[in-house]
Amino acid sequence: MNWSQVGPYTADNALLGLLPPLIGLVIALPLGVVCARFRWFYAPVLSLTTLIYAIPSLALFVVLIDYTGLSNETVIIPLALFSLCVLVPNVVDGLRAVPQPVRQAATAMGFGPMRRLVRVELPLAVPVIIAGLRIAVVSSISLASVGQLIGVSSLGYFIVDGFQRDFSEEIYVGIVLIIVLALVCDLLLVGTRRLATPWSRR
């Protein structure tokens, strides 16, 4: 195998693993805020995201080829949709776990609903939201390798190539690189949580 390919494929895989959860977060934040505010809205949203999650990745990639061709979007869109299944419940749970006295204190200090959400409730929900983001990122990095079956490049290349040439060392390299990439991104997220929640450090 050609070691010079490791860099580009790792970069491709990192993009396919990190971008979808971030897109998912951009959708899940407003959706979660609305769901936490209006309880009746949460059940249907939850059913829908779980339903999407039940769709096999390969099937969804294939459906999208018709619209986006063999581009990165064909993998990024399904993975972003999958990430909603963990992100939306975590945003909602995180917001709901904010203690009522904290909300009341914020209101008493003259915070309006919007400022209270942005300055008090969302920061307090950060640990739970990042816990969801960790699951979404690790799963996306691992699932992105399936995109290789429809020809979207990722570290899955080494797995598929190793299989076609019956070269198990190359398959090991692919698997290990994917796991290492996932764990590095996971550590980065843990670091982000520590930076974003200075009050939880002792």
> Least CB distance from residue 3 to other proteins, whole Å?
18
73-102 b/e (C-beta count within 10 Å ≥ 16 → b): ebbbbbbbbbbbbbbbbbbbbbbeebeeee
Q: Looking at 8, 30, 44, 56, which residue binds other proteins (CB under 8 A)?
A: 56
CA 142, 71, 160 angle in degrees (round to 5)?
Answer: 45
Q: Looking at 34, 43, 48, 118, which residue binds other proteins (CB under 8 A)?
A: 43
125 binds other proteins (CB under 8 A): no
- Strand, coil or helix: 181: helix
202: which 2 tokens?
A: 């002792």
CA–CA distance, 32 with 195 (Å, rounded to integer): 23
178 binds other proteins (CB under 8 A): yes
Part of the chain binding other proteins (CB under 8 A), chosen from 3-11, 26-34, 53-61, 105-113: 53-61
* Binding positions for other proteins, 69-88, rule CB under 8 A: 85-86
Part of the chain binding other proteins (CB under 8 A), chosen from 21-29, 103-111, 117-125, 132-140: 132-140
175 binds other proteins (CB under 8 A): yes
* Binding positions for other proteins, 12-31, rule CB under 8 A: none
128 binds other proteins (CB under 8 A): no
CB 5 within 8 A of CB 157: yes
188 binds other proteins (CB under 8 A): no
CA–CA distance, 85 with 96 (Å, rounded to integer): 17
CA–CA distance, 175 with 142 (Å, rounded to integer): 9
CB 39 within 8 A of CB 184: no
Binding-site residue total for other proteins (CB under 8 A)?
Answer: 48
Tell me which residue of 23, 17, 63 sits closest to 180, measured CA to CA. Answer: 17
Q: Which residues bind other proteins (CB under 8 A)?
A: 43, 46, 50-51, 53-60, 62-63, 66, 85-86, 89, 93, 134-135, 138-139, 141-143, 145-146, 148-150, 155-156, 159-160, 162-163, 166, 168, 171-172, 174-175, 178-179, 182-183, 186
